[in-house]
Amino acid sequence: MSELFSPTTVGPLQLSNRIVIAPMCQYSAEQGIAGDWHMIHLGHLALSGAALLILEATAVSPEARISARDLGLWSDAHADALAPVLAAIRRYSPILLGIQLAHAGRKASSQVPWEGGGNVGLAAGGWQTEAPSALPHAAGDTPPLALDGDGMRRVRDDFVAAARRSHALGLDAIEIHAAHGYLLHQFLSPLANARADHYGGALENRMRFPLEVFAAVRAAVPAGMAVGARISACDWVDGGWDIEQSVVLCRALQAAGCDFIHVSSGGVSTEQKIAAGPGYQIGFAERIKRECGMPTIGVGMITEAAQAERIVAGGQADMVALARAMLYDPRWPWHAAAELGAQVQAPPQYWRSQPAQHKALFNTDVNLRNINSVMSK
C-alpha cells in the first residue's frame, strides 16, 4: 500500500492522503480583491486529487502586500470576493482548504516577478515598508521603518482580523507565513533584526513577536480550525537563522498549539547560497519531525511520485507539498496514484478519462457520497 496515499491527521483535520498544494503567489488581484483568475486557478487545482490546497500568501493589510497585485483579506469586501470561489470549490471537490496569512515586511512594495520583482520606491508609486529594523533587503531598496510597539500591535491585530475572516469563510486551516524573508522571518533572523529591545538580540527575544502573532491567531479561531506555520529552517548565510534555532522555534510553536509545520528555507538575504537539488529541504523537515514530533510538511523540488513516496514512507515528513510541479501538471496526484497502485478522488465528470490499464484509479464510492451530499442541500 502506498504511504503517500494513506490518510493522516493534522490537528482537527482528517486528510485523505499526504499531498498538499503549497501556496503559490499569483499576483493577479485588484487592490487585494480576488477575481476570475482565482476562480479558474483554484478551481482547477481543487480537482487535482490532493488532500489539502493552501491559498497563496494573502496580505493582512495593504502595506503587507509583496506587490500591488497580491491577494488580500484586510476587509469584508475581500472576504466577499473570495466567498464564491470557495463555494464553487466546495460544491465540486472534497479537498480541504487552507489560507496562508502573510506580511511581507521590508520585502513589500515590489514589482510582480514578470516585471523584474524589484523594489518599487515611493516616487514610483510604491509604499513605505516596515520591518523589525530599518535595514533594507537589498542595496538600493527604500529603507523600511522599524516597527514600534504600536506598529507591532497593529500588525498582530491585522493577522487576527484576517484569521477571523478566514474562519467565517469556512476555510479549514490557516498557515502563518514566517518564511521566505517576510516580516515574521525578519524578526527571527539576526540578519534582518538588529533591535536592542526585548524583540531583538537573543533567540528568545527574536522569537517573541512571531510567537505572539501565532498565539493571537490561535486564540482568535475555534479549535476545529487547524493553525500551523511555514518557516524557513535556514537562511543559507553564515551567522543567520539555522536549523538549530528552527527546532527551538518549532517546540515553542508546538507548545502554543501549532498543528503543523511547513518547512522551507531561505529568502531573508541576497547573500544566501542555497544548495538546491531534488528534495534539498527535506533534511530540515526530517530533523524537525524527529525532534519535535509534530505533523510536518516537506517541500522543495519534489517532482516524482517515487521520490514523494520515499519521503513519506521513510518518515522524513508526514506530508509533501508541491508548487511548481503542480502548476506544470495539475493532475500530478492522479499520475502518482497510477504509478504507485493507489486510488485518488476525482469528479465524476472525469471518471471516463481513466486509462484502460488504470480502471481502479478513481475512488468512485467517495465521490458518490460527496455528490449525494451536495445534491441533498
Catalytic residues: 182
Q: How far apart are CA 144 and CA 169, in angstroms?
A: 33
**Rounded to whole angstroms, how far apart are CA atoms 324 and 300?**
9
DSSP label of 371: H
Whole-number Å distance between alpha carbons of 203 and 91: 46
Per the CB < 8 A criterion, the answer to whether 289 and 317 are in contact is yes
Nearest to 214 by CA among 245, 257, 152, 183: 257
Report strand pairing: 19-21 vs 8-10.
unpaired
- CA 153 to chain centroid: 23
Helix (H, G, I), strand (E, B) or coil at 364: helix
The x, y and z cell numbers of residue 362, run together, are 478513481
CB 16 within 8 A of CB 230: no
E-only strand ranges, 22-140: 52-59, 96-102, 130-131
Residue type, 204: E
